[in-house]
Amino acid sequence: MPPVAGEDLPKKQHPPSSNQRPILRIAEGLNGDGALAKYYQRGLDYAIQYFGKHGPYYIYLLGPDSEQSVRNIYHQRAQSRVDTKSKQPAAEQIEAFLKQPHVIAEMQAVLAGKAEGGLTWTQETPLLYEDVTTNAKQREQDPVENTWGALHEYHHVFQMSHCDTTQPRTSDKNINSWMAEGMATYSSAKFMENLGLVDFKKYMLQLRKTGGNIGHPSINEFFTKTKAWQLENETYWETGESAPVYYMLGAWATAYLIHVQGVDEVVVLKDWYQDIPSIGKSASFRKHMGLSLADFYKRFSVFIRQSDEKTMKIFP
C-alpha cells in the first residue's frame, strides 16, 4: 500500500531501532482459529530479522463484526499517541484524535467492510508506526497475501525510519515513491520466495504482463498508452497511474540495480538508507549504487522498454 503521512506534521525526529516487539491488535470476530495472527506474524518475523527492530510499531487488523471492539481498539490507538510531556491533558489528546475526520472516516470504512488503510506514522512525539487494515477478513481468507502484506509494510517502517517524512518525496532527505513502493514490492516478493510461498521470477513477469497482485494496468499495458513517463515524477498518485509506475516499474528498477548493475541485494534494500539522514538521498544513492540518480534513470529507461524475453534474462 502507498505510504500515508501521519496527521502530526512539524519537526521529524528519527527514532532509533526499537527493542519493543510490535503490538498486534485484532478486532472481535477475527482470528478465531489463530490463523490471521499466525500468518501475519510469519511475514513480520522474517522482515524484522532482515531489517532489524524499528518502532514502536502497532498492527491493527480490523473487521465489521463488533463496533464496540473497533471503537475500543481506536481508543487504544489514541492512547498510544498521547504525548506525556504535553501540557494538554491525555483525555483531551485522545478525544482530539478520535474526532479527526480521517479517523472517523476510517472507522466507518471498517464497519462497512471496506478494504482501505495502510501504513501511517506520526511525525512528532510520540514517534510510532501503524499498519491499519480495515478489512482483515480478506487477509484471514488468504494466508499468502496476509504474509505478503506484513512483509511489504514492515519494509516501509524501515524506510520511513531513515527519512524525513515532513519533506516532500522530491526532497533529498526523503525518498521517491518508486523507491518506497518499488523496493518494498521487490523485497516482499523475494522474501515470499525465500519462504517458499511464491515464484519470484514468475511474479516479476506478471508485473509486466498482468500487473500481478497489484492490479491494472500492467507495465506492458501502461507502455502502450504512455510513451513519456518519468520514474521520479511524483504526480502519478493524482493521475491514477501510481500502481504501474511506483510499484511495478519501481520493483523492476530495484531488480535492475541488483541484477544488471550488480549491487548487492542487502545494499539496495537496506544499507543505502542508513546514509540518507546524514548525506541525503542523491549522495547516498551514488555512494552505494555506483552511479548518479540521473544516470540510473537514463539507463533504466532504455532497459525496461525491451521485450519481456530480454528483460527476464537478467534473472539467474
Residues 129 and 90 occupy one common structural domain: yes
**Which of 131, 160, 189 marks a domain boundary?**
160
Q: What percent of the chain has pLDDT over 90?
A: 91
| Contact in structure between 151 and 192 (CB atoms under 8 Å) | yes
- ∠ CA 175-188-205, nearest 5°, is 100
Co-location of 138 and 243 in the same domain:
no
Residues 201 and 249 in one domain: yes
Q: Report the distance separating Cα 183 and Cα 254, nearest Å.
A: 6
Same domain for 183 and 117, yes or no, is no
Domain holding 277, by residue range, is 177-312
**Predicted TM-score of the model (pTM):** 0.92
Q: Any idea which residue has 547516498 for its cell?
A: 284
Rg, the chain, Cα only: 20
User: Average pLDDT of 73-99?
Assistant: 96
Q: Is the pLDDT of residue 16 over 90?
A: no
Strand partners, 130: 58, 120
**Residue 18, pLDDT score:** 65
- Please check the confidence at residue 4 and state whether its pLDDT lies above 60: no
Looking at the fold, whether 302 and 184 belong to one and the same domain comes out as: yes
What average pLDDT is seen over the chain? 93
- Give the number of domains in the chain: 2
Residue corresponding to grid cell 471503537: 71
